Structure 1
């Protein structure tokens, strides 16, 4: 799997000005819509919120990995958001998040693409150095390089 098919600079926002989880999800979803990767913003947002209601995607250490498998998703995508302030996310460590890695997966790829990306990300987010590199990134290119290395090695 090539990183370029999943994410590009237009799907990365390093200065999200949001105060709630829903605002973050909404702003990141608008990036998907701008690139015509989803059919419906409202259906996608609802899918992410429904998933959050089942179990929080607040990973801990300031990270969240919200995701949605849905028929409204046209193209499997990774959307990155870094907030300008801390967002309450009901995280596993009870701490707010500032770095969001949102996954949009077509329903037909739910058991393959979704699981591969989620496993690769959650495993790598256990690595202090990787998390620190993501948090310190100030350019979209830096994020793309880190994810390219991760996705390429985990899905090939």
Structure 2
């Protein structure tokens, strides 16, 4: 099946008798991708995957299957950084206004952003442990995210800019 074109696989799959109502087929839309994506945005959903009709199934990223992500944005405080590979600790205010951890920003920051951050953060250090250096939550940043996890964490945060 994996070597057959997508539409042939779908045709065969939709004919299958499913073992229970817990199983289902993923619906698809042809010729209306823009309208579909507008509905995804209106419902604040994560995005869609656009697939070429003649594509075969592969177990890795492929130019024939493209994710179209409905990014949302969040403003966070940078509360620390990793000592090893790059990563800024992000936090957001909880209901009482206290900053709670919300994830690690690993993507999007340019060398210029990093240099600016480390220059300013030296005077904000409050402590450290084996893996992290912690700073006062005074530096704010905007990140684009896929959405929030059920645990209240940023899903795939990407740095976009500092908030001044």
> Which of 1 and 2 has higher RCO (CA within 8 Å, sep 6+)?
1
Higher share of residues assigned strand: 2
* TM-score relative to the length of structure 1: 0.23
Q: Which has the larger radius of gyration?
A: 2
